[in-house]
Structure 1
Amino acid sequence: MSRRGRALWIVGVVVALVVAGVVSWYASGSPDGLEWAAERTGFAHTAEDSAAAGSPFADYLWNGEENRLSSGAAGVVGVLVTLGLAGGLTWLVRRPGVPAGKD
């Protein structure tokens, strides 16, 4: 990969981490569209916890508290996990002997 390509990747990752870690502080606390519609039409009481309800960042809570640090950390961890999975999948399906970007 060229120096310019590498710099572009680094800038992209840094921007994604900043957006996930800082901009998420200003996310709306209002219900999303589905939750709003469920409350409005009267079926919100049928909601159940998801299988991931016990995960470390469920509902953007960390140690049971919702604050800027927990939502920012959840965003950063999400970006890193997504990049790790995408990079790992790319590495697995890449044709052997063909350098990345040289198809």
Structure 2
Amino acid sequence: MNKRPWGFVVGGLLVALLLAGVVSNYASAHPDGLDSSLLKGCTVDAEGEITGGSCPAQRERHHELGDSPLADYGVRGLDNDFLSTGLSGVLGVLLTFGVGAGAFWLLRRRGSAGPDGPGEGTGDRAGTERAASAR
């Protein structure tokens, strides 16, 4: 299969960016399953502070990466919550895509050299034609 699915990759990236930049604002305001299960047994006020009861969340401590630039689903330094959450989602998607693309590029590049040297076994048309004319 010589044809690369660039349209599919770009379309998937655009959908992921849209979901991360817009939809994440509506999902991240609510605690996830782990947070809500840790709060079982405690009384929590409107700001999310524990006011009574007994639960595992009372033993929570500050995480060493809690002051990182993208901590708590936001970008440190941005006061607009909608923009901060959306931008952190977009940056996360781009970072993940970049790492994944780099890994695939390295794996593809590493596997492209066959036993007969570069160009053989890469699937390119010129290499196939050279191999056929050598017979």
What is the TM-score of this pair, normalised by structure 2?
A: 0.63
CA distance 1:70–1:34, change in 2 (3 Å): same
Larger gyration radius, structure 1 or structure 2:
2
Deviations for 1:52-87, whole angstroms, at most 9, x for unmatched residues? 212111002332646110110011000001001111
* 1:30 shift after superposition: 2.3
| Paired amino acid for 2:11 | V
CA distance in 1, matches of 2:79, 2:66: 15
Give 3-state SS (helix, strand or coil) of 1:53's partner.
coil
CA distance 1:70–1:45, change in 2 (3 Å): same
CA distance in 1, matches of 2:28, 2:71: 16
User: How is 1:14-93 mapped onto 2 (pairs within 5 angstroms)?
Assistant: 14-41=14-41, 42-61=55-74, 62-63=76-77, 65=79, 67-93=81-107
Question: Which deviates the most, 75-84 or 30-39?
Answer: 30-39
- The percentage of counterpart residues that share the same residue type is 38
| Paired amino acid for 1:56 | P
Q: CA RMSD in A?
A: 2.1
CA distance in 2, matches of 1:88, 1:28: 29
Greater fraction strand: 2
Give 3-state SS (helix, strand or coil) of 2:65's partner.
coil
Say how many residue pairs are matched. Answer: 98
| Paired amino acid for 2:103 | L
Name the structure, 1 or 2, with higher relative contact order (CA <8 Å, separation 6+). Answer: 1
In the alignment, structure 2 segments of 5+ residues that lack a partner are 42-54, 114-121, 124-135
Greater fraction helix: 1
What is the TM-score of this pair, normalised by structure 1?
A: 0.80
In the alignment, structure 1 segments of 5+ residues that lack a partner are none
